[in-house]
Structure 1
Amino acid sequence: MAENATPDRILQLARSLEGPLVDFCRRLVQTPSPSGDEGRVAELVEAELKALGYDEVWRDKAGNVLGVIRGEGGPTVMFNAHMDHVDPGNPERWPYPPFAGVIAEGYLWGRGACDTKAALAAQVYAGGALKRAGLRPAGDLYVAAVVMEEVGGAGSRLLAANFRPEVGVFGEPSGNRLALGHRGRLELAVRVVGRSAHASAPELAVNPHFSLARFILGLPKVERASHPVFGASSCAPTLYTTDTVSTNVIPGEATLFLDWRNVPGERAEAVVGRLQKLLAESLDPGAAGSVRLLEVRQKTYTGLEVNFPDEMPDFETPADNPYARRALKVLGDLFPDRAAPYYWRFATDAGHFGRVGTVALGFAPGDDTLPHTYEERVGLRELVEGLAGYIGLALGLGRQDG
């Protein structure tokens, strides 16, 4: 850690920025930014990075906003948080309007508050805090505000293709604990093609429902990889479609959609192979079937068209990794009651960077049970502590003595 940047000084520095930090986070929450429409929040982030004195600030072709504070030649550190959020749902179900940015009961309430605008605000202000205190990180510090994480991570996918920092800290809610991994996600389609017929003559049909019914009943017996931390992979049938909307027609084809959560080390090809075997065993004579990983086609708010497999990669960083050790030491000194590593249940953008060799870590304020709910909020004290954590990580991850 930089000389004289003691835990007490870091906490004091973070508290001195509470007012502008909360104000910025509130403005982010008050600005709706659904996936593919993050432009207005991007403008706020870009302006704040410039106002805080980042050495360079720019947007890439996908609409990600990046700022950098130049360091002293050590390892490059990236802070990463997404600007988009999921749909707020029925506004009447919320205790406070989802985009009002209400501060009540010690919390900032609203859609995106902890997923992940609190992390984004704290990351942006961490660099500003370094500038204010005259502290310089060991290596370059990048802050990346990315697009479309909630719908597959197009922003981070594109960023990871051309930018590979030594270590990345991903801002998903962790209760200001260090996250060291999560399962991946595969979105799969299981399609059966039979033969349609009038519902009054079922003997003339090859009804795809029966093949898929056997397939569904066989799913619990399909082999799943197991992991000492994450347990076994899971599989959930989610949606079901046919090629007809008429109730008096036996469909000619039907498609079942699966959400497979894979543990680290379990590859998509192996999962598809096991499901194809079950499907072959489930088909009626005359029916054909296939299992495929879905493909995503999207357009970012800048107009960039992207397509990629509907997969969120897993990641796991060992606790004895040098960067993980440094992070655990930094956070343990700041928050002694939160010194143990933690693991997310949901998938994040961290896997995209972990896949290309960046050491992935997770850290952010927020309760991980609140994203995507009507109770989404972030504690103001936790937000300030999150800023302290990011300041400490910005200074401590580049040390060569960990």
Structure 2
Amino acid sequence: MKSMDTVEFLDRLIQTPSPSFHERKAAELSLSYLRQFSFERAWIDAAGNAVASNYAHKKGMRPDLLLFGHLDTIASPMPYWRESDKIHGRGAVDAKSSLAALFSAAGTADVPYRLMVAGVTEEEATTSKGTHHLLTYARPKMAINGEPSNTNGVTVAYKGRMVVECRTHGKASHAGMASENPIERTFEYYAKLREHFPLHKNRFENVILNLTHISAGSQDALNVVPETLDFFIDVRLPPSMKNSEVGNVFRRLAPQGVSVKVHESLPGVETDVNHPLCRSLVGAIRDAGLPPRYVKKHGSADMNVTMHAGIPTIAYGPGDSSLDHTQHEFVLLKDYEMAIGVLKKAAKNLEVYF
């Protein structure tokens, strides 16, 4: 395969479909790109991550700095097209442009410390398999997670996430009879939750909950009261709140006949703005002529995983995160190329800390 420049690699990466659990082709393309540089090692690991290091990494060795982003995208496809100044396509924002910027910056960074870069799998799934596996053999001293922050943003915090599965039990009966209706009981429960966690403007310290799936009865039997109703609630909570406490609220407010299970529980995280990671990246953004800003996101990312493992982490990358998971993803090439320069400079700034 002929060598690729930074833009060609990004273009090909966006054109390579890689929904969660199907990242192999994107990993192989990434490995080919990483092998263009003078890394000591480049490989695909057992979780399907594309990994490279500027030293001969062996299990148990600690990279000083890990640059990592995700290979996968959501499963919903969208058209790809290229303009002179931008690329449209699934993953253009979330988060292939950030990942490609990390690869390019790491490949050209001349630093004396141990540097590792990785494209990880299953970030968009509930598993975060790639990052969890990576940490079993490479536990860095600090990390930068590739996620969109509009090129001048330093993401210092993410909310945590809980996925709550509920089942409301009733009594199957003819719709002409007075009965224990699980649909109505679910409405009552959700009203209690909304009273406790009201709708609000997007303040970071508030809990956000949304009903994302509901299933009961059949359109072929509209005269039957269903026996059960199943529903899922996605919950986002700030680092200041414990997942266990919020989970207990869901259980406490559940009326008789409603069962509650918490399937995923990822704590919220926040990095001190005085940490060397923040200072190094802020300085690099200023050197690029941009006004730096700190960002706190209402979603979650693999930064939650690394921070929960005790690894100081921030997130950075090109692209407008309000386009995440939409049919309108695009990245400006000038922002992508500027992000590469910012990351290289940030890596250089970190030399004094290792």
Note whether the superposition's TM-score is higher than 0.5: yes
Name the CA distance, whole Å, in 2 between partners of 1:196 and 1:162: 53
| 1:140 matches 2:128 | no
Question: What SS does the aligned partner of 1:343 have?
Answer: strand
C-alpha deviation, 1:329, in angstroms: 2.2
Counterpart residue number, 2:7: 22
Name the CA distance, whole Å, in 1 between partners of 2:274 and 2:93: 28
C-alpha deviation, 1:268, in angstroms: 2.1
Question: What SS does the aligned partner of 2:296 have?
Answer: coil
Q: Deviations over 1:323-374 (max 9, x none)?
A: 3223222322233x33222222321110000001110101101111222222
Identify if the C-alpha distance between structure 1 residues 173 and 125 changes in structure 2 by more than 3 Å, giving closer, same or farther.
Answer: same
Question: What SS does the aligned partner of 2:154 have?
Answer: coil
Counterpart residue number, 2:190: 216
C-alpha deviation, 1:75, in angstroms: 6.5
Q: Deviations over 1:248-293 (max 9, x none)?
A: 221111122111111013222111111111113xx4xxxx222111
Work out whether residues 75 and 398 of structure 1, in 8 Å CA contact, stay in contact via their aligned partners in 2: no
Name the CA distance, whole Å, in 2 between partners of 1:138 and 1:324: 20
Counterpart residue number, 2:145: 170
Which amino acid in the other structure matches residue 85 of structure 1? T
| 1:207 matches 2:188 | no
Which blocks of at least 5 consecutive residues in structure 2 are unaligned?
Answer: none
Name the CA distance, whole Å, in 1 between partners of 2:297 and 2:24: 28
Which amino acid in the other structure matches residue 149 of structure 1? E
Q: Deviations over 1:182-226 (max 9, x none)?
A: 112211112222222222333xx32212221111111222268x9
| 1:124 matches 2:103 | yes
Which amino acid in the other structure matches residue 129 of structure 1? T
Question: What SS does the aligned partner of 1:277 have?
Answer: helix
Which amino acid in the other structure matches residue 81 of structure 1? G
C-alpha deviation, 1:138, in angstroms: 3.8
C-alpha deviation, 1:162, in angstroms: 4.3
RMSD value, Cα: 2.4
Work out whether residues 205 and 240 of structure 2, in 8 Å CA contact, stay in contact via their aligned partners in 1: no
Which blocks of at least 5 consecutive residues in structure 1 are unaligned?
Answer: 1-18, 92-96, 295-309
Question: What SS does the aligned partner of 2:168 have?
Answer: strand
Counterpart residue number, 2:70: 82
Question: What SS does the aligned partner of 1:165 have?
Answer: coil
Q: Deviations over 1:132-161 (max 9, x none)?
A: xxx2x2421111101111112221133234
Counterpart residue number, 1:56: 41
Which amino acid in the other structure matches residue 112 of structure 1? G
Question: What SS does the aligned partner of 1:265 have?
Answer: coil
C-alpha deviation, 1:82, in angstroms: 0.7
Counterpart residue number, 1:184: 160
Question: What SS does the aligned partner of 1:115 have?
Answer: coil
Counterpart residue number, 1:11: none
Question: What SS does the aligned partner of 2:105 have?
Answer: helix
Counterpart residue number, 2:299: 346
Counterpart residue number, 2:170: 194
C-alpha deviation, 1:238, in angstroms: 2.1
Counterpart residue number, 1:110: 89
Work out whether residues 139 and 398 of structure 1, in 8 Å CA contact, stay in contact via their aligned partners in 2: yes
| 1:271 matches 2:246 | yes
Q: Deviations over 1:4-49 (max 9, x none)?
A: xxxxxxxxxxxxxxx8100110110111111111111111111111
Question: What SS does the aligned partner of 2:254 have?
Answer: helix
Work out whether residues 68 and 145 of structure 2, in 8 Å CA contact, stay in contact via their aligned partners in 1: yes
Question: What SS does the aligned partner of 2:12 have?
Answer: helix
Counterpart residue number, 1:230: 204
Q: Deviations over 1:371-397 (max 9, x none)?
A: 222221111111111110111122222
Identify if the C-alpha distance between structure 1 residues 215 and 46 changes in structure 2 by more than 3 Å, giving closer, same or farther.
Answer: same
Question: What SS does the aligned partner of 1:328 have?
Answer: helix
Question: What SS does the aligned partner of 1:149 have?
Answer: coil
Which amino acid in the other structure matches residue 289 of structure 1? V
Name the CA distance, whole Å, in 2 between partners of 1:347 and 1:126: 24
Which amino acid in the other structure matches residue 232 of structure 1? N
Work out whether residues 19 and 73 of structure 2, in 8 Å CA contact, stay in contact via their aligned partners in 1: yes
Counterpart residue number, 1:366: 319
Identify if the C-alpha distance between structure 1 residues 229 and 320 changes in structure 2 by more than 3 Å, giving closer, same or farther.
Answer: farther
Question: What SS does the aligned partner of 1:232 have?
Answer: coil
Which amino acid in the other structure matches residue 272 of structure 2? P
Identify if the C-alpha distance between structure 1 residues 244 and 170 changes in structure 2 by more than 3 Å, giving closer, same or farther.
Answer: same
* Percent of residue pairs identical: 26
Name the CA distance, whole Å, in 2 between partners of 1:156 and 1:374: 27
Higher mean displacement: 315-324 or 160-169:
160-169
Name the CA distance, whole Å, in 2 between partners of 1:312 and 1:157: 13
C-alpha deviation, 1:247, in angstroms: 1.8
Work out whether residues 215 and 278 of structure 1, in 8 Å CA contact, stay in contact via their aligned partners in 2: yes
Identify if the C-alpha distance between structure 1 residues 178 and 140 changes in structure 2 by more than 3 Å, giving closer, same or farther.
Answer: same
Aligned length: 342
